[in-house]
Amino acid sequence: MKNASTGVQLALTLWFVGTGIVPAAGHAAEDWSTPFQLLGRETAPGTKNKFPFIDDRSFEASYLNMPVFVARGAAPGPTLCLAAGIHGDELNGVEVARRAFAEIDPKDLRGTVIALPAINAEGVRTGNRYLSDRRDLNRSFPGSAGGSVASIIAYAVFTKIIKNCNALIDLHTASNNRANVPQIRADLSIPAIHDLALHFGLGIVVNGGGPDGSLRGEAAQAGIAAIIYEAGEPLRFEEDEIDRGMRGVHNVMAYLDMTDNAVQKTADDRVYQRSKWVRAARGHGGFFFPMAKLGDLIKEGDTLGKVVDPLTDEAFNVVSPLDGEVIGVAVPQPVLSGYGLFHLAWHESD
């Protein structure tokens, strides 16, 4: 349990010094007596603002027609960014960003919160993970000004918004036909990211750097303390997962001394250094029926579920290769060889 004290302020200072993270525009030196400027819009200290990313009616510009939320605190502090809807079908994250932002009182805020709650806005409207050009936006960062639509969006978001952030929380769910136990994923080898991840205050933190081209990975490489929150399944709103995410965002704000709140940690705090997928074995395709559930602690050799070949009635058990925890699971569905069925985390550490 940690509260907004000098300890937190010290942690924040060390955070900048220890990791080479430099406050975006140097928030200490930032002029707080005039409105905050972003994308040609002004947000006065102690107020909130919402506006479209781009003011352009052209056909092409519609891809950048994402909402931008800004809360400019009454007093100086760091810049926290919330990203959601990079995968348009991952609605829990979209709602975490919207609700967490709605709860912010800018008069009591130190620093700036910038939320992009629906980066792939068209995907959010239509329930699509990918962009209209079928590319994965979360493999397209940092992007380029002259590339594909995915690359252009990534470049615009990265250069105009993300580079201003001291800390970033990218909000996701599991991918198609899977569900994730609420979890933070973070590169725990980087001290600033490690500390941010643990102060989100969630039960589970899983170590990992993230794939090339992901927003989190590229932001971390740019010196930004970036973590991912993953919770639940796509295409629906799940209250428990949304609520945990909101509390986590507010915990991070408290940890960064942006509010006077205390960090509220859950009792089931644990950190896993490793994770891996248990997949349908070669030749063991069929109808998948899970038995292990999200959050189950399992032992090596435990039967996690089964795959039944519907033409031969032969059943194949899916067996755990290790002692660990089920942090992701596929929903019951037809599967082919190699399909990821259970995501297991193990190797607990402090």
Choose one: 47-55, 88-96, 264-272, 297-305; the region binding Zn ion (CB under 5 A).
Answer: 88-96
Interactions with Zn ion, residue window 40-59 (CB under 5 A): none
Instruction: Name which of 172 and 284 has its Cβ closer to Zn ion.
Output: 172
Of positions 63, 70, 83, 87, contacts Zn ion by CB under 5 A: 87
Of residues 138 and 251, the one with the C-beta less far from Zn ion: 138
- Rounded Cα distance, 350 and 346, in Å: 13
CA distance 285 to 96: 36
Enumerate the β-bridge partners of residue 206. Answer: 185, 272
Q: In the complex, what is the shortest distance from the CB of residue 173 to Zn ion, in angstroms, rounded to a whole number?
A: 6
Residues in 147-186 at the binding interface with Zn ion, rule: CB under 5 A: 172
Nearer to Zn ion, 172 or 199 (CB): 172
With vertex at residue 235, the alpha carbon angle to CA 233 and CA 239, rounded to the nearest 5 degrees, is 65
Handedness of CA 311, 277, 171, 161 (dihedral sign): negative
Nearer to Zn ion, 141 or 255 (CB): 141
DSSP class of 2: B
Alpha carbons 226 and 210: distance in angstroms, whole number: 11
Q: Toward Zn ion, which CB reaches closer, 173 or 259?
A: 173
Nearer to Zn ion (CB atom), residue 90 or residue 233: 90
- Per CB under 5 A, the segment of 87-95, 210-218, 238-246, 314-322 that binds Zn ion is 87-95
For residue 20 the two structure tokens come to 């080479």
The number of C-alpha atoms within 13 Å of 152 and in the hemisphere containing its C-beta is 14
Tokens of 47: 């107020």
DSSP classification of residue 263? B
Stretch that binds Zn ion, among 13-21, 84-92, 151-159, 310-318 (CB under 5 A): 84-92
- We find the least distance from the C-beta atom of residue 167 to Zn ion, in angstroms, to be 19
The C-alpha atoms of residue 144 and residue 246 are separated, in whole angstroms, by: 32
Say how many residues touch Zn ion, by CB under 5 A: 3
- Name the residue type at position 124: V
Shortest approach of Zn ion to residue 103 CB, angstroms?
A: 23
By C-beta, is 104 or 124 nearer to Zn ion?
124
Q: Which is nearer to Zn ion, 132 or 261 (CB)?
A: 132
H-helix or E-strand spanning residue 13 = helix 6-19
Give the Cα separation of 27 and 329 in Å (integer).
Answer: 42
Q: How far is the CB of 194 from Zn ion (least distance, A)?
A: 22
Tokens linked to 281: 């074995």
Residue type, 18: G
- Residue 138 CB, shortest distance to Zn ion, in Å, is 6
At its nearest, how many Å lie between Zn ion and the CB of residue 193?
18
Q: How far is the CB of 65 from Zn ion (least distance, A)?
A: 20
Pick between residue 151 and residue 214 the one whose CB is nearest to Zn ion: 214
Q: Give, for 290, the enclosing helix (H) or strand (E).
A: strand 286-290
Nearest distance from C-beta of residue 247 to Zn ion, angstroms:
20
Q: According to the binding rule CB under 5 A, does residue 194 interact with Zn ion?
A: no
DSSP per position, 42-66: EE-TTEEEEEES----STGGGGG--
For the bound state, the minimum distance from the C-beta of residue 302 to Zn ion, rounded and expressed in Å, comes to 28
Stretch that binds Zn ion, among 52-60, 85-93, 256-264, 306-314 (CB under 5 A): 85-93
Q: Which stretch binds Zn ion (CB under 5 A): 79-87, 150-158, 178-186, 216-224?
A: 79-87
- Classify residue 232 as left (phi > 0), alpha (psi -120 to 50) or beta: left
Name the residues that contact Zn ion, by CB under 5 A. 87, 90, 172
